[in-house]
Structure 1
Amino acid sequence: MQRFLLVCSVLLSCVFFAQNRLNLIPYPQNVEWLKGEFIIPKNFKLDQDLPRQETEFFKKQTRNLLAFGTGKKETAHLVNVLFAPQSEGKPRENEKYAIEISPRQIIISSNTKQGYFLALQTLTQLLRQYKDSGKIPAMKIEDKPKFAWRGMHLDVCRHFFTVDEVKQYIDYLAMYKLNTFHWHLTDDQGWRIEIKKYPKLTQIGSRRKESMIGAYVDNTFDGKPYGPYFYTQDQIREVVKYAAERHITVVPEIEMPGHALAALSAYPELACTKGPFEPATQWGVFDDVFCPKEETFAFLENVLNEVMQLFPSQYIHIGGDECPKTRWKECAHCQELIRKNNLKDEHGLQSYFIHRIEKYVNSKGRKIIGWDEILEGGLAPNAAVMSWTGIKGGVEAAKSGHFAVMTPGAYCYFDHYQGDPATEPNAFGGFTPLDKVYSYQPVPEELNAEQAKYILGVQANLWTEYILDFKQVQYMIFPRLMALSEVAWGTSDPKNYKEFEGRVINEFRTLDEMGVNYAKSIYNINGKVIPAGNGVAYELSTSQNPSGIRYTTDGTEPQANSQTYSNPVPVSKSMTIKSGYFENGQLKSAVSSQGFIVSKTTGKKIDLEQQPSENYSFGGAFTLVDGIIGNQRQLGKTWLGFQGKDVVATIDFGQAKPFSEVYFNTLDNKGSWIHFAKSAQVFVSDNGTDFKMIKETGKEEILAAKGKIRLQVGNQKAKYLKIKIENAGIIPAGNPGADSKAWLFVDEIGAN
Structure 2
Amino acid sequence: MRYLLLLFILFSNVLFSQKKLNLIPYPQNLQLSEGKFTISDVFTLSNDLPKEETEYFKKSLNSRLKFQNSDKSKACLVYSQLSKSKNSTQNDEFYSLEITPKQILIKSYTKQGYFLALQTLIQLFEEFKNDQQIPALKIEDQPKFAWRGMHLDVCRHFFTVEEVKKYIDYLAMYKLNTFHWHLTDDQGWRIEIKKYPKLTQIGSKRKESMIGAYVDNTFDGKPYGPYFYTQDQIKDVVKYAQDRHITVVPEIEMPGHALAALAAYPELACTKGPFEPATKWGVFDDVFCPKDETFKFLENVLDEVMVLFPSKYIHIGGDECPKTRWKECAHCQELIKKNNLKDEHGLQSYFIHRIEKYVNSKGRKIIGWDEILEGGLAPNAAVMSWTGVNGGIEAAKSNHFAVMTPGSYCYFDHYQGDPATEPNAFGGFTPLDKVYSYNPIPTELNTEQAKYILGVQANLWTEYIEDFKQVQYMIFPRLMALSEVGWGTSDPENYKEFEGRVINEFKVLDKMNVNYAKSIYNVSGKVIPKNNGVVYELSTSQNPSGIRYTLDETNPNSNSQAYQNPIPVSKSMTVKSAYFENGQLKSAVSSQQFTISKSTGKNITLEQQPSENYSFGGAFTLIDGIIGNQRQLGKTWLGFQGKDVVATIDFGNKTNFTEVYFNTLENKGSWIHMAKSAQIFVSDDNKNFKMIKEIGKDEIQNAKGKIKLNVGNQNSKYIKIKIENAGIIPAGNPGADSKAWLFVDEIRVN
TM-score by length of 1: 0.97
Contact 1:731 1:738 in 2 (8 A): yes
Residue 21 of structure 1: how far off its partner (Å):
3.1
Could you list the per-position Cα deviations for residues 342-393 of structure 1 after superposition, in whole angstroms to 9, with x for gaps in the alignment? 0000000000000000000000000000000000000000000000000000
| Local SS of the residue matching 2:463 | coil
Partner of residue 34, structure 2 = 35
Contact 2:46 2:72 in 1 (8 A): no
**One-letter code of the match for 2:578?**
G
Could you list the per-position Cα deviations for residues 494-517 of structure 1 after superposition, in whole angstroms to 9, with x for gaps in the alignment? 001000000000000000000000
Q: Using a 3 Å threshold, how does the CA distance of structure 1 residues 73 and 55 change in structure 2: closer, same or farther? A: closer
| Local SS of the residue matching 2:506 | helix
Contact 1:41 1:76 in 2 (8 A): no
Partner of residue 96, structure 2 = 98
Within 5 A, what are the aligned runs for 1:546-625? 546-625=544-623
Contact 1:661 1:712 in 2 (8 A): yes
Partner of residue 373, structure 2 = 375
Residue 252 of structure 1: how far off its partner (Å):
0.2
Partners of 1:472 and 1:588 lie apart in 2 by 21
Partner of residue 6, structure 1 = none
Partner of residue 4, structure 2 = none
Contact 2:46 2:75 in 1 (8 A): no
Residue 682 of structure 1: how far off its partner (Å):
0.5
Residue 523 of structure 1: how far off its partner (Å):
0.3
Within 5 A, what are the aligned runs for 1:437-586? 437-586=435-584
Q: Using a 3 Å threshold, how does the CA distance of structure 1 residues 20 and 608 change in structure 2: closer, same or farther? A: closer
**One-letter code of the match for 2:556?**
P
Residue 76 of structure 1: how far off its partner (Å):
5.6
Partner of residue 23, structure 1 = 22
Q: 2:105 aligns with which of 89, 104, 107?
A: 107
Partners of 2:423 and 2:595 lie apart in 1 by 25
Residue 179 of structure 1: how far off its partner (Å):
0.2
Partners of 2:112 and 2:424 lie apart in 1 by 38
Residue 416 of structure 1: how far off its partner (Å):
0.1
| Local SS of the residue matching 1:368 | strand
Residue 69 of structure 1: how far off its partner (Å):
2.6
Partner of residue 143, structure 1 = 141
Q: 1:413 aligns with which of 411, 414, 427?
A: 411
Partners of 1:694 and 1:564 lie apart in 2 by 46
Could you list the per-position Cα deviations for residues 34-60 of structure 1 after superposition, in whole angstroms to 9, with x for gaps in the alignment? 111101111000011100100000011
CA RMSD of aligned residues (A): 1.7
Partner of residue 5, structure 2 = none
Q: Using a 3 Å threshold, how does the CA distance of structure 1 residues 646 and 515 change in structure 2: closer, same or farther? A: same
Within 5 A, what are the aligned runs for 1:21-170? 21-64=20-63, 66-70=65-69, 75=74, 77-84=76-83, 93-170=91-168
Partners of 2:89 and 2:322 lie apart in 1 by 37
Within 5 A, what are the aligned runs for 1:339-354? 339-354=337-352
Partner of residue 728, structure 2 = 730
Return 5+ residue gaps in structure 1 as ranges.
1-8
Return 5+ residue gaps in structure 2 as ranges.
1-7
Partners of 2:61 and 2:569 lie apart in 1 by 52
Within 5 A, what are the aligned runs for 1:181-580? 181-580=179-578
Partners of 2:226 and 2:236 lie apart in 1 by 20
Partners of 2:17 and 2:206 lie apart in 1 by 54
Partners of 2:326 and 2:637 lie apart in 1 by 34
Residue 231 of structure 1: how far off its partner (Å):
0.2
Partners of 1:72 and 1:484 lie apart in 2 by 39
Contact 1:87 1:94 in 2 (8 A): no
Contact 1:440 1:487 in 2 (8 A): yes
Residue 180 of structure 1: how far off its partner (Å):
0.2
Contact 1:65 1:128 in 2 (8 A): no
2:654 equivalent to 1:642? no
Contact 2:382 2:395 in 1 (8 A): yes
**One-letter code of the match for 1:494?**
P
**One-letter code of the match for 2:197?**
P
| Local SS of the residue matching 2:214 | coil
| Local SS of the residue matching 1:93 | coil
Contact 1:153 1:183 in 2 (8 A): yes
| Local SS of the residue matching 1:729 | coil
Partners of 2:496 and 2:601 lie apart in 1 by 28
Contact 1:86 1:112 in 2 (8 A): no
Residue 17 of structure 1: how far off its partner (Å):
5.0
Partner of residue 652, structure 1 = 650
Contact 2:47 2:70 in 1 (8 A): no
Contact 2:72 2:78 in 1 (8 A): no
Residue 217 of structure 1: how far off its partner (Å):
1.2
Partners of 1:87 and 1:98 lie apart in 2 by 19
Contact 1:535 1:602 in 2 (8 A): yes
Could you list the per-position Cα deviations for residues 630-688 of structure 1 after superposition, in whole angstroms to 9, with x for gaps in the alignment? 00010110000000000000000000111111000001100000001111001111111
Residue 16 of structure 1: how far off its partner (Å):
5.1
Identity %: 80
Residue 87 of structure 1: how far off its partner (Å):
8.5
Partners of 1:214 and 1:709 lie apart in 2 by 25
Contact 2:47 2:71 in 1 (8 A): no
Residue 70 of structure 1: how far off its partner (Å):
3.8
Could you list the per-position Cα deviations for residues 198-256 of structure 1 after superposition, in whole angstroms to 9, with x for gaps in the alignment? 00000000000000000121111000000000000000000000000000000000000
2:717 equivalent to 1:751? no
Within 5 A, what are the aligned runs for 1:163-182? 163-182=161-180
Could you list the per-position Cα deviations for residues 712-749 of structure 1 after superposition, in whole angstroms to 9, with x for gaps in the alignment? 11111111010000000000000000000000000000
Contact 1:253 1:319 in 2 (8 A): yes
| Local SS of the residue matching 2:121 | helix
Partners of 1:300 and 1:224 lie apart in 2 by 31
| Local SS of the residue matching 1:492 | coil
Could you list the per-position Cα deviations for residues 538-570 of structure 1 after superposition, in whole angstroms to 9, with x for gaps in the alignment? 010000001111111121111111111111100
Contact 2:206 2:223 in 1 (8 A): yes
| Local SS of the residue matching 1:209 | coil
Could you list the per-position Cα deviations for residues 321-352 of structure 1 after superposition, in whole angstroms to 9, with x for gaps in the alignment? 00000000000000000000000000000000
Contact 1:86 1:111 in 2 (8 A): no
Partners of 1:369 and 1:200 lie apart in 2 by 27
Residue 67 of structure 1: how far off its partner (Å):
2.4
Residue 91 of structure 1: how far off its partner (Å):
11
Partners of 1:175 and 1:71 lie apart in 2 by 27
Residue 75 of structure 1: how far off its partner (Å):
4.7
**One-letter code of the match for 2:143?**
P
Contact 2:210 2:279 in 1 (8 A): yes
Q: Using a 3 Å threshold, how does the CA distance of structure 1 residues 664 and 91 change in structure 2: closer, same or farther? A: farther
Residue 19 of structure 1: how far off its partner (Å):
10
Could you list the per-position Cα deviations for residues 158-211 of structure 1 after superposition, in whole angstroms to 9, with x for gaps in the alignment? 000000000000000000000000000000000000000000000000000000
Residue 74 of structure 1: how far off its partner (Å):
11
Contact 1:44 1:74 in 2 (8 A): no
Q: Using a 3 Å threshold, how does the CA distance of structure 1 residues 576 and 92 change in structure 2: closer, same or farther? A: farther
| Local SS of the residue matching 1:417 | coil
Number of aligned residue pairs? 741
Contact 2:47 2:72 in 1 (8 A): no
| Local SS of the residue matching 1:663 | strand
2:715 equivalent to 1:717? yes
Q: Using a 3 Å threshold, how does the CA distance of structure 1 residues 160 and 61 change in structure 2: closer, same or farther? A: same
**One-letter code of the match for 2:274?**
P
Partners of 1:272 and 1:414 lie apart in 2 by 34
**One-letter code of the match for 2:68?**
G
**One-letter code of the match for 1:417?**
Y
